[in-house]
Amino acid sequence: MRDYLDDKSLRLRRERSDQPASARPFVLAGVLCLVALSLIYLDQQGIMSPLRMLLQQALSPAALQLTGLRNRGEDLVLAPRSEADLRARITALEQEVSQLKAENLRLQQAQIENESLRQQLQIQREQPWHLVGAEVTVRPPDAGRQVMLIARGSADGVRVGMAVIGQDPAGPAALVGVVESVGTHTAEVLLITDVSSRISARVMHDGQAHLGLVQGQWQRGSRLSIGQVDRSAAINPGDAVVSAGLTGSLNLQLDLATVPANIPIGSIDVINPGGQAQNAELRPFVNPDQVRYVWVILNQNE
């Protein structure tokens, strides 16, 4: 053993090599720096843009798939893990849907009310009337009479004989009827197209007003007519007809003294010559059968 140790001297520390260190790492680092600088230069010159786009197009499908996998993983982690959880979630969603429907209905009702108020303000700016709006609640199925029921009554200041007006989108606010009977919160309106309706009126022609009487003709195959116009009065088709405010003095069955003057009614359509006075058919500005919202003229502001 002694001999072996004498022959093989132990190396207690690494002996330094007399050979020079390898330059390969320095060369590799230099090459990488040169490549990086070249890529930066090419990118500044815009040469790398097409290559970048090609790489993005090639990698986009894989990126989308990875994103989808991540989303599905999140859904699995966050999804309810029992039937009770599912039922609770369904109940919560149903309640949310119910609340959204109720809110949508409320917004629709508010929009309708706002539009009606806007129309009312516009009418009151143009005419000296104090109005109260009312929905048409029902039209009694009585083929013999032209009437409608509105959702306003004596509690709202409505009285028998007051004029009721309506408005089409493209026309003026015009007379559609007269209050015939009143309850606390409802009122029955006799439409101007009914044969028992009589309204004193004036035909406006070339700055002159010719007095006449508007009568309902619905049950006789027409809507309105105007008669008792002086035979010497010059009237033509297209002339406007407005209320005269004199109906209360005609001793008719209805008390119509509160119907003010100058409410638009319609325009002359066809003139029927003959007789002691002139007669003509009228085209109403507002079709009373089509209105769904009306205004009662409570009084006329002086």
User: Of 72, 98, 71, 102, which Cα lies nearest the Cα of 90?
Assistant: 98
Q: 153 and 101, same structural domain? A: no
Predicted model pTM: 0.61
In a domain, 83, yes or no: no
Q: Is residue 12 part of a domain?
A: no
CATH, residue 143: 2.40.10.340
Would residue 87 count as lying in a domain?
no
Residues 149, 264 within the same domain? yes
Q: For position 75, what pLDDT does the model report?
A: 65
What is the distance between the alpha carbons of residues 296 and 162, in angstroms, rounded to a whole number? 7
Let me know if residue 148 belongs to a domain: yes
Residues in a beta bridge with 268 = 282
Pairing of the two strands 224-229 and 187-191: unpaired
pLDDT digits (tens, 9 = 90+) for 92-143: 888 888 888 877 877 776 666 667 677 766 776 777 788 999 999 988 776 6
Q: What is the pLDDT of residue 21?
A: 54
**Residue 209 · residue 260 · CB < 8 Å:** no
Which residue reads 């309902």 in tokens? 216
Q: For position 2, what pLDDT does the model report?
A: 52
Residue 74 falls within a domain, yes or no?
A: no
Number of domains the chain is built from:
3
How far, in Å, CA of 243 to CA of 224, rounded?
A: 13
The reply to whether 115 and 264 lie within a common domain is: no
Q: Are residues 120 and 187 in the same domain?
A: no
pLDDT in tens, the chain (302 residues): 555 545 555 454 555 555 555 677 777 777 777 777 776 776 676 666 666 676 666 667 777 777 777 776 666 666 656 777 888 888 888 888 888 887 787 777 666 666 767 776 677 677 778 899 999 998 877 667 899 999 999 999 999 999 999 998 878 899 999 999 999 999 999 999 999 999 999 999 988 899 999 999 988 777 899 998 988 888 999 999 999 987 544 444 444 446 888 999 999 999 987 778 889 999 999 999 889 999 999 986 54
Where in the sequence is the domain holding 186, given as residue range(s)?
A: 129-300
| Domain identity same for 242 and 213 | yes
DSSP assignment of the chain, as one string?
-HHHHHHS----SPPPPSSPPP-HHHHHHHHHHHHHHHHHHHHHTTSHHHHHHHHHHHHHHHHHHHHHHHHHHHHHHHS--SHHHHHHHHHHHHHHHHHHHHHHHHHHHHHHHHHHHHHHHHHHHHSSEEEEEEEEEE----TT--EEEES--GGGT--TT-EEEE--TTS--EEEEEEEEE-SS-EEEEETTSTT-EEEEEEEETTEEEEEEEEE-GGGTSSEEEEEE-TTS---TT-EEEE-S-GGGG--SS--TT--S--EEEEEEEEE--SSSEEEEEEESS-TTT-SEEEEEEEE--
Q: Do 61 and 139 lie in a common domain?
A: no
Same domain, 112 and 138: no
Same domain, 151 and 50: no
Q: Are 210 and 235 in contact (CB under 8 A)?
A: yes
* 47 shares its domain with 160: no
Q: Kindly state whether residues 57 and 113 are assigned to the same domain.
A: no
If 0-12 CB within 10 Å is exposed, 13-18 middle and 19+ buried, where does residue 269 land? middle
Q: Are residues 120 and 133 in the same domain?
A: no
Beta strand pairing call for 293-300 and 129-138: antiparallel
Q: Which residues contact 63 (CB under 8 A, 6 or more apart)?
A: none
Tell whether 228 is covered by a domain: yes
Inside any domain, residue 91: no
The residue from 85, 111, 126 where one domain ends is: 126
Residue 3 lies in a domain: no
Q: Same domain for 107 and 51?
A: no
